[in-house]
Chain A
């Protein structure tokens, strides 16, 4: 870290200091990362972030929050305005090639040559990382097979389905066997089946020891996959902690009760916000201090029988909205 950077960082961080303890097993160490585009847009305002080796790290934020800019800087696709990035202890400014060697990137948009076939695309990428052709061919076969694309190796890539194109990008990112895999919105716009399959695949890759960083605005995705989550909004990290701690911050959850019989018009659940979305569907807001048994008792006392019950919203989504709104208030206030 540069001299004086600690002071700057300390000034920048008033509310968020979680996850700043860098250590030797740090995969990624970002300090005071800023990016201002030529048109004056401040995309990143002093980001501090640590990702540990072997982690599955989720990077969440609404559109335009700065996720892709940060990924762009780490992968050398975007020039930073200030700050430092270290990957496996290698400084991006001092040895960009050394950093690039460690990283595999799956971008959000399809960015391969649409006129080439998967074998060419993946083999070329291996070549760009200095893998000799014979070995590149073996690696390419390995990863195209793993992605279920070996049979399509000579198919023009523009003829592949959306799911196959996405898997092709994952194979391309893995062919040089990076220690850090970064995926920018890997399941944006894909169907549920493919999304689940991608999740399983990413879990497997992480299980083999590869550190995975995922940006997404699908909160369900982050909740399903990530052990640690950072939330970015307007170029600042508003939360950065492990998933359990993050979820524990939820005070109120909404539960949906599917009723076996129609609820009476004068249904009373004193102490609980509730609403009937139709005659047999009841939504109740329940705080963490309350017990679900109380709600069941109250319903039972009014002869309302519950057939089933589920959590209404993605819990993380609820928290995400709260954090982003809180940040909005803070910014407006300041």
Chain B
């Protein structure tokens, strides 16, 4: 009985220690992204503002309406999601790879922290940055649209949060596998960017001819952009311009999160990319 009680106390103290460790990593990651704000916050906001000006105002004026809303209004959710995806991914991949490169990741590896805490800590850094930039990009859009109305704050927020979580894990896995700085840029350039641009940010896949419409449904980013667009424009946009069912979109995002989270944990356990 006494042994069981001691074991329980021991487990509780380990849980508490892990929570303190998580808090420490989160504070460290958030401090880092705020410390280097000219690299982490300003560039994505400037880039997206340029998208608003060029695609929304200059080209959008000639495109006209898209499913009952102006083209500018149509691309706002897509551009916010593009910021969320890029920033969650790049924050984690650069932060964790820098830790590997400078070898201060060893501080974490020698500590008694559970692997899931290390993963969650870095993920949180990516999520905070993504949500921050996504929020700013959404606010900036108010300068370009007449009124910004959000159909469902809870759906919009949850989709953004889940997408940020998913791509934070993606960035973490990329950082684990990367051996040099070039490896950090390969996936964003050759995989992420094409998937985002072909993922319905600037158009609805309903506008594509077959077989491209069907092929696009294999792109998971279509579901994220579409679900986010649903959260903002559901009551204004023609249903034909919403590319997926919201339930299916949530299901796909959650399945990807579980799969990649498990993969990242397994890689940490095996020490892939970290231990000889």
If A111-B102, A112-B104, A130-B16 touch, whether A125 touches B111 (CB-CB below 8 Å) is yes
| B residues 80-138 touching A (CB-CB < 8 Å) | 99, 102-104, 106-114
Enumerate chain B residues within 8 angstroms of A154, measured Cβ to Cβ.
Answer: none
Q: Please report the number of residue pairs spanning A and B whose Cβ atoms sit closer than 8 angstroms.
A: 85
Docked-complex contact B276 and A78, CB < 8 angstroms: yes
Residue in contact with B23 in the complex, picked from A37, A114, A120, A127, CB distance below 8 Å: A127
**How far is it, in angstroms, between the C-alpha of A125 and the C-alpha of B109 when the chains are bound?**
11
Enumerate chain A interface residues (CB-CB to B < 8 A): 37-38, 72, 75-79, 96-98, 100-101, 103, 105, 107, 109, 111-115, 120, 123-125, 127-133, 172
If A37-B276, A124-B24 touch, whether A130 touches B18 (CB-CB below 8 Å) is yes
Q: Write the nearest CB–CB distance from A73 to chain B, whole angstroms.
A: 10
Q: Write the nearest CB–CB distance from A124 to chain B, whole angstroms.
A: 6
Enumerate chain A residues within 8 angstroms of B25, measured Cβ to Cβ.
Answer: 127-128
If A97-B112, A100-B112, A129-B112 touch, whether A124 touches B107 (CB-CB below 8 Å) is yes
Tell me, yes or no, whether B14 is within 8 Å of chain A by CB: yes
**How far is it, in angstroms, between the C-alpha of A97 and the C-alpha of B13 when the chains are bound?**
12
**How far is it, in angstroms, between the C-alpha of A107 and the C-alpha of B104 when the chains are bound?**
11
Docked-complex contact A127 and B21, CB < 8 angstroms: yes
Docked-complex contact B102 and A128, CB < 8 angstroms: no
Docked-complex contact A124 and B28, CB < 8 angstroms: yes
Tell me, yes or no, whether B64 is within 8 Å of chain A by CB: no
If A78-B276, A130-B16, A131-B20 touch, whether A98 touches B112 (CB-CB below 8 Å) is yes
**How far is it, in angstroms, between the C-alpha of A128 and the C-alpha of B103 when the chains are bound?**
16
Q: Write the nearest CB–CB distance from A22 to chain B, whole angstroms.
A: 24
Tell me, yes or no, whether B271 is within 8 Å of chain A by CB: yes
Residue in contact with B275 in the complex, picked from A79, A130, A132, CB distance below 8 Å: A79
Q: Which residue of B lies closest to A43 (CB)?
A: B276
**How far is it, in angstroms, between the C-alpha of A300 and the C-alpha of B25 when the chains are bound?**
73
Enumerate chain B residues within 8 angstroms of A124, measured Cβ to Cβ.
Answer: 24, 28, 107
Docked-complex contact A128 and B271, CB < 8 angstroms: no
Q: Write the nearest CB–CB distance from B20 to chain A, whole angstroms.
A: 5
Enumerate chain B interface residues (CB-CB to A < 8 A): 13-14, 16-18, 20-21, 23-25, 27-28, 31, 35, 99, 102-104, 106-114, 271, 275-276
Docked-complex contact A132 and B110, CB < 8 angstroms: no
Docked-complex contact B102 and A113, CB < 8 angstroms: yes
**How far is it, in angstroms, between the C-alpha of A109 and the C-alpha of B106 when the chains are bound?**
11
Enumerate chain A residues within 8 angstroms of B102, measured Cβ to Cβ.
Answer: 111-114
**How far is it, in angstroms, between the C-alpha of A66 and the C-alpha of B16 when the chains are bound?**
37
**How far is it, in angstroms, between the C-alpha of A114 and the C-alpha of B102 when the chains are bound?**
8
**How far is it, in angstroms, between the C-alpha of A123 and the C-alpha of B17 when the chains are bound?**
14
**How far is it, in angstroms, between the C-alpha of A96 and the C-alpha of B271 when the chains are bound?**
13
Residue in contact with B104 in the complex, picked from A72, A113, A131, CB distance below 8 Å: A113
What are 8 A-B residue pairs whose CB atoms fall within 8 Å in the complex?
A97-B14, A111-B102, A113-B104, A120-B28, A124-B24, A124-B107, A128-B21, A128-B25
Q: Write the nearest CB–CB distance from B150 to chain A, whole angstroms.
A: 37
Docked-complex contact A111 and B103, CB < 8 angstroms: yes
Q: A79-B271, A131-B20 are in contact. List 16 more A-B contacts (CB 8 A).
A: A38-B276, A72-B276, A77-B106, A77-B275, A78-B275, A79-B275, A97-B14, A100-B112, A107-B106, A113-B99, A115-B35, A124-B107, A127-B24, A127-B25, A128-B108, A130-B14
Docked-complex contact B20 and A132, CB < 8 angstroms: yes
If A72-B276, A77-B275, A98-B112 touch, whether A111 touches B107 (CB-CB below 8 Å) is yes
Enumerate chain A residues within 8 angstroms of B18, measured Cβ to Cβ.
Answer: 130
Q: Which residue of A lies closest to B23 (CB)?
A: A127
Docked-complex contact A109 and B103, CB < 8 angstroms: yes
**How far is it, in angstroms, between the C-alpha of A182 and the C-alpha of B32 when the chains are bound?**
30
If A109-B103, A128-B24, A129-B17 touch, whether A76 touches B109 (CB-CB below 8 Å) is yes
Docked-complex contact A128 and B107, CB < 8 angstroms: yes
**How far is it, in angstroms, between the C-alpha of A262 and the C-alpha of B103 when the chains are bound?**
57
Enumerate chain A residues within 8 angstroms of B110, measured Cβ to Cβ.
Answer: 75-77, 100, 103, 105
Enumerate chain B residues within 8 angstroms of A127, measured Cβ to Cβ.
Answer: 20-21, 23-25, 27
Docked-complex contact B276 and A111, CB < 8 angstroms: no
Enumerate chain A residues within 8 angstroms of B112, measured Cβ to Cβ.
Answer: 96-98, 100-101, 128-130
Enumerate chain B residues within 8 angstroms of A172, measured Cβ to Cβ.
Answer: 107
Q: Write the nearest CB–CB distance from B223 to chain A, whole angstroms.
A: 37
Q: Write the nearest CB–CB distance from A180 to chain B, whole angstroms.
A: 12
Q: Which residue of B lies closest to A74 (CB)?
A: B110
**How far is it, in angstroms, between the C-alpha of A96 and the C-alpha of B113 when the chains are bound?**
10
Q: Write the nearest CB–CB distance from A183 to chain B, whole angstroms.
A: 13
**How far is it, in angstroms, between the C-alpha of A109 and the C-alpha of B101 when the chains are bound?**
13
Which of A103, A107, A111, A127 gathers most chain B CB within 10 Å? A127
Q: Write the nearest CB–CB distance from B35 to chain A, whole angstroms.
A: 8
**How far is it, in angstroms, between the C-alpha of A91 and the C-alpha of B109 when the chains are bound?**
17
**How far is it, in angstroms, between the C-alpha of A109 and the C-alpha of B13 when the chains are bound?**
32
Q: Write the nearest CB–CB distance from B71 to chain A, whole angstroms.
A: 43
